Chains A and B, each alone.
Chain A
């Protein structure tokens, strides 16, 4: 049985792979910190046992705090990985847009940073519920954020904001020098166009130097039915 999820195809698989690689890489970083700090605790204890240096309680406390901090960080990362994995559970579901956007910016933070980008999010105060495909929504956010970074030139400062529209939601991507934005949706890659189409979304460039918006309409119940 095929659902809207099947439209994600190879690009969706690549997106999932990218996200998992990035999150697991960061988890490995936290494990490395925990391992080094645990090793340091062992070194200090051994030195104390051998009478080479007394144990400093403040030092031990500091190392224990470092380990606790990294365990907390790894827990958040593992939760994010789990949440992303569960985004394919239902082809269509109610999504709180601010929360979903925050989540995507959080899990792609390191990927953006590797490309030299600083991404900030201006959340809307009111809760905005949208009936959509959670997995494709996540993919769409990253695909267009990634594109915004590419279009932002040397000054890679991107501000992402969200607002309600009469027919759904609008997500704005603004940067100070987004100057190579295509004039219409037709100029976007096939993958971008396909993703927009699957979600019933529209690409709206703001004109020279002004960023762009993605307007997403809610999916109707009908879209939840099998495509074939």
Chain B
């Protein structure tokens, strides 16, 4: 299954062209042009990977990351930064981001990170499923809880 991706960037032309390139690579892509729009979309839909610009006018990217991780902890986040210094990206990774990339980034590198992030999410989901199955097998009554 191809990853469901959300691109969050206030630069419309960037978000649109990146979305088109990822769609050509068969990903299911949605774009959000602000942090708030991203938070609203994540609340309503399930995304596997969020590509998040860390510096946007309306919201601090790390706050958006925090909210995404709070509501959808399994959704993986790749942070994009235009800063040559990576302090914000490191802060983001401490808050649970999967990885970061510096703008402008190589598409191939981004696709590789998306694939790895998606695989990690699928692994986590699988482990949760297995744990649930084990719980049901060991205690069938747990289904009723």
Q: Enumerate chain A interface residues (CB-CB to B < 8 A).
A: 21, 24-26, 28-29, 31-37, 39-40, 43, 47, 63, 66, 69-70, 110, 113-114, 116
Contact = CB atoms under 8 A, between A and B. Distances in A.
Contacts, number: 61
The 8 closest A-B pairs by CB, nearest first: A32-B104, A113-B57, A36-B17, A32-B103, A35-B104, A28-B82, A25-B82, A33-B14
A36 B84 CA distance: 19
B105 A32 contact: yes
A13 to B, nearest CB: 17
Contact of B18 (A26, A36, A113): A36
A37 B17 CA distance: 6
Interface residues of B, number: 19
B24 A47 contact: yes
B7 to A, nearest CB: 10
A24 B56 CA distance: 15
25 contacts: A21-B83, A26-B82, A28-B82, A28-B84, A29-B103, A31-B104, A32-B11, A32-B103, A32-B104, A33-B11, A33-B13, A36-B13, A36-B14, A36-B18, A36-B21, A36-B104, A39-B17, A39-B107, A40-B17, A40-B20, A43-B20, A43-B24, A63-B17, A66-B17, A116-B58
B57 A39 contact: no
Contact of A33 (B17, B21, B24, B83): B17
Contact of A29 (B11, B17, B105): B11
Interface in B80-133: 82-84, 103-105, 107
Interface of B: 11, 13-14, 17-18, 20-21, 24, 55-58, 82-84, 103-105, 107
Nearest to A44: B24
A72 to B, nearest CB: 13
A37 B104 contact: no
A37 B58 contact: no
B55 to A, nearest CB: 7
Contacts of B11: 29, 32-33
Given A32-B104, A43-B21, A37 B13 contact: yes
B109 to A, nearest CB: 12
B24 A28 contact: no
B103 A31 contact: yes
A20 to B, nearest CB: 11
A29 B13 CA distance: 10
A25 B82 CA distance: 5
Contacts of A24: 84
A27 to B, nearest CB: 9
Contacts of B104: 28, 31-32, 34-36
A14 to B, nearest CB: 15
B92 to A, nearest CB: 16
B103 A110 contact: no
A50 B60 CA distance: 42
B82 to A, nearest CB: 4
Contact of B57 (A37, A47, A116): A116
A24 to B, nearest CB: 8
A114 B57 contact: yes
A25 B85 CA distance: 10
A32 B104 CA distance: 4
